[in-house]
Structure 1
């Protein structure tokens, strides 16, 4: 709650982003902080984007650019973390460790660089996959009746688990090599830290009658991170991937058909190229790095999807 409040106050002071108006922030008798904000006005984007006319969609893209570029130019601490305090009197923002979306755990510290941030994500994901493999093989071992006795069955299961753990280690070794190369090639402007709302999905965005973004709620899931990771297409229009469909949005995240989403993203490219070349470069240069970050943070992603991410890395680095 404190993080969301600090972020809303920070955004209200420095940007034109349509954050909720703070009506009350108190601490309950039990010592739990809470806040009350003004309800967003307009129409929720979720379930209504396809009903917009082409002109309204164009207005939506323009307002998305206005919003993201406003965030992109906020004076910001040059570290990776989440806003935990903001003082309007001194225009001072203080960062704390960011939170991992997988299990809600805090990072061990505010990260000074992108390499440390990825090191944390890599360790979390490697541990998760290794533990999941151990559970899966243990469950399979318990479900199968031994043909040659429990000792033989256990040895066979352990051998399979060892091969799977070795496969995980090889996959992460390849990913780390490609990530290290990609990070080495980043220019300094791409590493400048900016704030981003990581939960700006269609359920948290509201539109006015012209299709413009009129409100964005739920700022608790924010992070300050390098521009190359912060630049992004709207989550409801994330670029479809025809070559590697396993990387496409799942669970109805797209608000449009893949063809229409691609058409609108190309239109967005043109707007960004005209408005802010630095943001456009961050968007284009960070494709593989953001894909790797998304895979590492997704609790359901597997090695099959990582193979698709790696295929992108090879193509983009040739």
Structure 2
């Protein structure tokens, strides 16, 4: 007769505990079909709107106008105009990301640490959710009506203080004009992302530091900023990618006055003079690589930062 170590009862049937464990393992391995059916529309939408266009884009980048395989499209990227467009896009994206990140972090600290009223915080977060998605033609029109040559703020400064910002060198269709416009949605995005990280700063840490004789500067230098640093760096990477790929706002605001990659790409695909879809596909592929790199940094740093939110 089999011993108890074999897991069998005298009749040769499995022990009840063994059977229960095997059944539980089988149930855990079965797919949750109801959940898969629920997310199927999302995957279908992603395949049609993201995967398929990306595959077609990659295919177009390696063919010429006659449909033959070539690398000439990528060789043509090494031109002064394209290099200048990438440099200008990187400068604008970096400036809007750094300024938006720092201003947004300061405002998030004020709201997160200084505002205890839940209703006020709810209003601020609601506004940030709306403002972070306010872009494109409506945002460009709003800034033209505000800071354009005949904008409300421009006219008011000229009438009240005798200051003409355009005579002083400001231009909405320029580097700083586009950067300031991008800040309108970069700052709310920063507040939205940084608020959970700021809420993760426990009051016990501040009290413990104070008991040990640490001043406010020491607390932020050795505790607060190290905890917020991964979230802040990840936010900067996300803001960079967000502004690097923006086209509707830039085109509606500046037209072709600012040489950035999205506008140059638009000219290659839809333009009448610079029409070259294959070169546009190569440009778009370069944009995808830059944005994918920035988003990868964001996801990696966000994963590291989430350990403080548990």
TM-score if structure 1 supplies the norm length?
0.24
User: Larger relative CO (CA 8 A, sep 6+): 1 or 2?
Assistant: 2
Q: Which has the higher strand share?
A: 1
Q: Which has the higher helix share?
A: 2
